[in-house]
Amino acid sequence: MPTEPEIVSLESLEYIPYLNSEGYLPKQFEGKVGVYAIFDRDQTLQFIGYSRDIYLSLKQHLVRQPQRCYWLKVKTIDRPNRTALEAIQNAWINENNSTPPGNIAETSSGMVRWDQAIDVKAAMTLEEKSQYTNSETDEQTQHKVLRNAARRIEAEILAELESRQVQEVIRFNPKLKDSGLLDLK
């Protein structure tokens, strides 16, 4: 029978910089299964998640919420086990005495912003919205408007990451842009 992982307190874990001095994510979490807590610049808890590949999840979060990803606390486990991962996640949320903003589905900084592809429709300019709405019968024009909005928002994200000296290779899935979504490839 598999042993349950030890539920260590969030408080007992050391803060790890989200990016090292060279601008890279912590490589020691590549391919690792576990639970992680993400903190902003002031070390205020923003999100608690779990993943089969912590490194890839951290990369996604950095692209989706660059202004909220400055510090980490991580607990790895040996084997994927959703029940164990959820138990650690819930214990950390309880220890915090409140649900982090990124784990509340209804907030503007909630789970969708952390866990889902970026929907560019929500960030379209008035001009882009007008072009999109005025072309309701012309799918090709709508795709073009979405693709252009996605490219603009992608450039903004990449500029923000560059301002933080991020050196990670960031590639967005080009096939999703026509549908107005930005997600890493």
Digit-coded pLDDT (tens) for 16-56: 999 999 999 999 999 999 999 999 999 999 999 999 999 99
In a domain, residue 7? The reply is no
Whether residue 42 contacts residue 114, with contact meaning beta carbons closer than 8 Å, is answered with no
pTM metric for this prediction: 0.90
Higher pLDDT residue, 155 or 7? Answer: 155
Domain boundary, last residue among 94, 115, 136: 115
pLDDT of 62 over the 80 cut: yes
In a domain, residue 1? The reply is no
Task: For residues 87 and 139, state if they share a domain.
Answer: no
pLDDT of 2 over the 70 cut: no
Task: For residues 81 and 108, state if they share a domain.
Answer: yes
In a domain, residue 153? The reply is yes
Task: For residues 22 and 111, state if they share a domain.
Answer: yes
Task: For residues 159 and 100, state if they share a domain.
Answer: no
Task: For residues 100 and 151, state if they share a domain.
Answer: no
Domain boundary, last residue among 67, 99, 115: 115
Task: For residues 127 and 111, state if they share a domain.
Answer: no
What is the span of the domain harbouring residue 86? Answer: 16-115
Q: Tell me the pLDDT tens digit for each residue of 88-145.
A: 999 999 999 999 999 988 656 567 789 899 999 989 999 999 998 887 778 888 999 9
Task: For residues 89 and 125, state if they share a domain.
Answer: no
- Structural domain total, the chain: 2
Q: How far apart are CA 175 and CA 111, in angstroms?
A: 24
CATH of the domain at 84: 3.40.1440.10
* Residue 127, pLDDT score: 93
In a domain, residue 37? The reply is yes
Domain boundary, last residue among 115, 135, 164: 115
* Residue 108, pLDDT score: 60
Task: For residues 26 and 100, state if they share a domain.
Answer: yes
Task: For residues 130 and 171, state if they share a domain.
Answer: yes
Task: For residues 53 and 102, state if they share a domain.
Answer: yes
Task: For residues 68 and 91, state if they share a domain.
Answer: yes
In a domain, residue 177? The reply is yes
* Residue 137, pLDDT score: 72
Between vectors from CA 114 to CA 9 and to CA 111, what angle results, nearest 5°?
A: 80
Task: For residues 62 and 83, state if they share a domain.
Answer: yes
* Residue 3, pLDDT score: 58
**Which distant-in-sequence residues (6+ apart) come within 8 Å of 101 by Cβ?**
46, 47, 107, 109, 110
